[in-house]
Amino acid sequence: MASERPCPADDFSIYYVLAECTDHYDSSPVKEVEENQPHSQGVTGLRNLGNTCYMNAILQCLCSISPLVEYFLSGKYITALQKDCSEVATAFAYVMTDMWLGDSECVSPEIFRSAFGNLYPAFMKKTQQDAQEFLIYVLNELHESLKKCHRKSYEKGSIPRCCRKTIANEVSIITQLFEGQLNYSIMCLKCENCTYKNEVFTILCLPIPSDYKCSLQDCLQCFFQQDTLTWHNQIHCSFCETKQETAVRASISKAPKVIIFHLKRFDILGTMKRKLRTDIHYPLTNLDLSPYICPVFRKHPKYNLCAVVNHFGDLDGGHYTAFCKNSVTQAWYSFDDTRVSEIPDTSVQTATAYLLFYSCQPFSIPIKKCKS
């Protein structure tokens, strides 16, 4: 099935429900799906349309997140579509359908690129783009296409003011999966008055504290350490009624179900540009975020890696690939445009990692069933 062709209406007579991972190997429906498919579901290459490796890597990662897969393949997205901005979400659903329900080992994402390029012409040019920037635009556009509006409110009650979450007034599958919230405590170093500011995020951009070797925890500690703002960075204190030196510390007041880390490998200082090739060790399982989460909300502090975007080359050019864990086979795969191969867990750790996708729960397995 090619992505250039719209999906027939009855393609969604097949839908996906989530089953527990522990039931996978004993479940006859799963074995039946595997026998009927020439290749594993969700293990499909994407054609390069001219320097679109950045797009292919991001699509592979998003299309490996099974709650998102279930949402689109079940047709749930159709009822949420906003009439005035539905093209990108619909095209995304077509690509995902090709990758999960099609019988081709490789498909073209042309319909998605065309719909996306109509809104953002820069991505239609056959020039290399930044995968992290592209991901931000994709998540935002999917959210705009699928959002539902609610009245904005704030948590009340016994929860400390510094840890209260802002309840968003626009909700979508994107906010439900990827949106988190940072809480900044801002303390005046003269009068010690403390104020709090909330900020939502879908991607955390982490500094890299070493040029040679470090861990993901080192990057997280660097991001969440206390910052002292002095001189020209001073903040106005409402109690002192003047600008003062200020201590700022961030914590996570709402942890997303899927957290995305952007490793800031591209360093630009004035006219100097360089890529940090630091070998960053990141765990495949049990990433502990509890030191950075407000104690009230430490329900799921540990995360498992589910996808990686790799970057090869330098700032002015290069190539993107993806590693994704398939929720059906529970194996890791390398996606390099049309080239797809299964890889061992030990190969997932590389010095080329640029974006890391972690989930707070093991992904369930999409099982093919018919509507009753």
Residues with a known catalytic role: 53, 319
Q: Amino acid identity, residue 213?
A: K
The closest alpha carbon to 296, from 257, 253, 249, belongs to 253
The closest alpha carbon to 146, from 172, 168, 167, 169, belongs to 172
Helix (H) or strand (E) holding 133: helix 131-146
Tracing tokens 């996606």 back to the chain, one arrives at 335
Q: Compute the distance between CA of residue 189 and CA of residue 31 in angstroms, rounded to an integer.
A: 63
Contact 48, 128 (CB under 8 A): no
Contact 197, 186 (CB under 8 A): yes
Three-class secondary structure assignment of 214-266: EEHHHHHHHHHCCEEECHHHCEEECCCCEEECEEEEEEEEECCCEEEEEECCE
Q: Compute the distance between CA of residue 345 and CA of residue 351 in angstroms, rounded to an integer.
A: 15
Q: Which residues pair with 188 in a beta bridge?
A: 246
The closest alpha carbon to 288, from 252, 262, 324, 323, belongs to 252
